[in-house]
Structure 1
Amino acid sequence: MDKKNKMALLGSIGGLVLLAIILLSLISVIGNSWSPSASGSIAVIPIYGQIAYSPSSLMGSSVSNPDVIKELIQNANQDVNVKAILLEVNSPGGSPVASEEIMESVQNSEKPVVVWISDTGASGAYLVASGADRIVASPSSWVGSIGVLVDLIDLSRLYDREGINKYAIKGGEYKDMGADYRELTPEEKEMMQNMVDEEYDYFIEQVAKNRNLSKSYVAGIAEGKIYTGRQAKNLKLVDDLGGKDEALDIAAHLAGIKDYTVVSFAPRTTLESLLSSIGTKIGYALGMGIGENMNQETIQNIY
């Protein structure tokens, strides 16, 4: 091999060695940046009671307003010290629209979101949870209730017995559909059932997409059934079992931090007022038979 070729070969070898050194340095830097040695905060946002746009419930119980929850999630994302978000859920559900709004905010979060279900994460609250990166449930919690409920009441016999002549002057044949002074006609019942079926199908579709499950599988375990946290894990509705500390540790792991502080991003309290009307209601809410303490359906009037 002549001198010129030897120099070229040595130059090539030197270049490869230099490139290897650069690559090893980059790997070392990247590895250190990924290692869970950094510190930061985990923002804890509570979702308690029914999920609704209303500032209060009929019985004065807690309400999670989607506008407030969305703002808190946004604030957590904008806080440079916050590395992950923990949603502390204890809710039987609520309005389909309100629940979906929060779910989308969870999905769009730039930082990892972990949901911890303490006592109850059902119906609309579970829809919200399904959009998170991980779901942790207490073993004895109530999870699921994937279903849709239309709550109607027919007081026509009571009105007749009490001599009350309640009626309406309407424009539009179906404008008083669901009014408490008369029963639904067969045609109206079919219309209402079609609406519920459509909403139910959408609910199942969203859960299946969020949890990476087939739609047929979710449909098979839905039907408004409520499961314990243990059962929900076996059914792939939640990822882990544990308390708040376990959920915080998982959030820290997803954020790549080891030492963390917990910061409460709780909504400001407001004076609660009674709902001004009772009418046709549709919502992701628990059934009436679950228990009086859990009977907190959020209403959405149909116009």
Structure 2
Amino acid sequence: MADWGTPRSSGPRDWALVERFLLEDLEERRRARRWRWARRVLFIALFAFLAWKLGSSATVSPGAFGPHTAVIQVDGQIAADLPANADSLIDALGTAFKTAEAKAVVLRINSPGGSPVQADEVYREIRRLRAKHPDKPLYAVIGDMGASGAYYIAAAADRIYVNPSSLVGSIGVIMPGFGVPELLRKLGVEDRTLTAGEHKNLLSPTRAVDPVEREHVQGVLDAVHRQFIAAVKQGRGERLRVNQDTFSGYFWSGEQAIALGLADEVGSLQSVARDVVKQETLVDYTLLPSPVDAVLRRLSAETARGLGAGLRQALGLEQTATLR
């Protein structure tokens, strides 16, 4: 007679069956996740390919527009890692000057300036291209602002057009800095910077300025300023009316800039194309990341993350916290 009141204990075989069931369920879940990630990766790769094909098929030769005015935007800060960088601007200039249908090149400038190196490289390339293509003029049209490094570039143009309210000039060089040694001392902060080289830590904000170091840095800034001044004088020539403030770092309105010889006339992109170049068709040669490029970059990152996750799961290398 069975004893219904006494519970039966599970034997080793019962636990083995439970363990096997759990392991099979876990493996099934892993297979499902792997296929899910594989589908995502394939979808992203397909979308990236289609976007690439769309971008490549949409490319049109500038010459297809017929006779036109080539436009190159110098917008925002001039720096190697920003849209207004020397490499992109020089590439765009080269294409515009080589295109026979581009009857003139217009730099549409709205920039506070930036890197003197980047500005000088563009300035020199403009001078080279103008010498190589003497029949193709280059004009600069300054919008809200054409200051410092942006004016450096504009100075290479055949003529500079401005709005009466544009901000123009700022022919100077600056190296911002500050010092907080007394504040750090009151806060109990100790500077433990180590250097190899007597002046490697020059202009450190944690200590007073060394007069010798100040003189050295000022000499560097003065040398860059002299180069800037020489470029403006070379570009503007006899049109420039030099006075004691011309190269002081002051900026002026467009109307004042014309009176000082820093600019030539009032004009806009449209008026220059219409009345000066006499080609109202505008073709933008600016090299900027296209929306397709941006999508591809994002998709590339997603693809890499998806492939990595898929490989980890396929190999059973789930991310877990570990103690080392």
Compared CA separation, residues 93 and 218, structure 1 to 2 (3 A): farther
1:234: which partner in 2?
259
- Which of 157, 166, 186 matches 1:132? 157
CA distance in 2, matches of 1:81, 1:242: 23
2:18: which partner in 1?
none
Matched-pair contact (CA < 8 Å) for 1:207–1:218: no
Matched, 1:222 2:251: no
For structure 1, the residue ranges without an aligned partner over 5 or more in a row are 1-38, 56-62, 253-257, 272-303
Matched-pair contact (CA < 8 Å) for 2:108–2:141: yes
SS at match of 1:88: strand
2:114: which partner in 1?
94
Matched-pair contact (CA < 8 Å) for 2:203–2:214: no
* 1:96 maps to amino acid: P
Matched, 1:71 2:91: yes
Matched-pair contact (CA < 8 Å) for 1:86–1:251: no
Matched, 1:197 2:217: no
Matched, 1:264 2:284: yes
1:211: which partner in 2?
236
- Residue-by-residue CA offset, 1:220-263 (whole Å, 9 max, x unaligned): 422001100000001111111122222223551xxxxx444110
SS at match of 1:143: strand
Compared CA separation, residues 206 and 130, structure 1 to 2 (3 A): same
Matched-pair contact (CA < 8 Å) for 1:117–1:138: yes
Compared CA separation, residues 158 and 226, structure 1 to 2 (3 A): same
SS at match of 2:281: strand
SS at match of 2:67: strand
Matched-pair contact (CA < 8 Å) for 1:205–1:215: no
SS at match of 1:149: coil
2:189: which partner in 1?
164
Matched-pair contact (CA < 8 Å) for 2:72–2:286: yes
- Residue-by-residue CA offset, 1:195-219 (whole Å, 9 max, x unaligned): 1222222211211111014999265
What is the 5 A alignment of 1:108-127?
108-109=128-129, 110=133, 111-127=136-152
* Aligned residues between the structures: 221
* 1:168 maps to amino acid: T
* 2:108 maps to amino acid: E
CA distance in 2, matches of 1:106, 1:199: 19
Matched-pair contact (CA < 8 Å) for 2:110–2:145: yes
Compared CA separation, residues 259 and 204, structure 1 to 2 (3 A): closer
SS at match of 1:150: coil
What is the 5 A alignment of 1:48-67?
48-55=75-82, 63-67=83-87
Matched-pair contact (CA < 8 Å) for 1:204–1:215: no
How far the C-alpha of 1:124 sits from its partner, in A, is 0.8
Compared CA separation, residues 178 and 250, structure 1 to 2 (3 A): farther
* 1:132 maps to amino acid: A
1:151: which partner in 2?
176
* 1:53 maps to amino acid: A
How far the C-alpha of 1:49 sits from its partner, in A, is 1.1
When structure 1 is superposed on structure 2, of 191-200 and 45-54 the one drifting more is 191-200
Q: Scaled by the length of structure 2, what TM-score is found?
A: 0.64
Q: Which has the higher contact order (CA 8 A, sep 6+)?
A: 1
- Residue-by-residue CA offset, 1:77-128 (whole Å, 9 max, x unaligned): 1222212111000011111111101111222222311100000001111010
- Which of 42, 50, 53 matches 2:69? 42
Larger-Rg structure: 2
Higher helix share: 2
CA distance in 2, matches of 1:191, 1:144: 26
* 1:176 maps to amino acid: N
CA RMSD of aligned residues (A): 2.1
SS at match of 1:118: strand
Q: Scaled by the length of structure 1, what TM-score is found?
A: 0.68
State percent identity of aligned pairs: 33
CA distance in 1, matches of 2:274, 2:158: 14
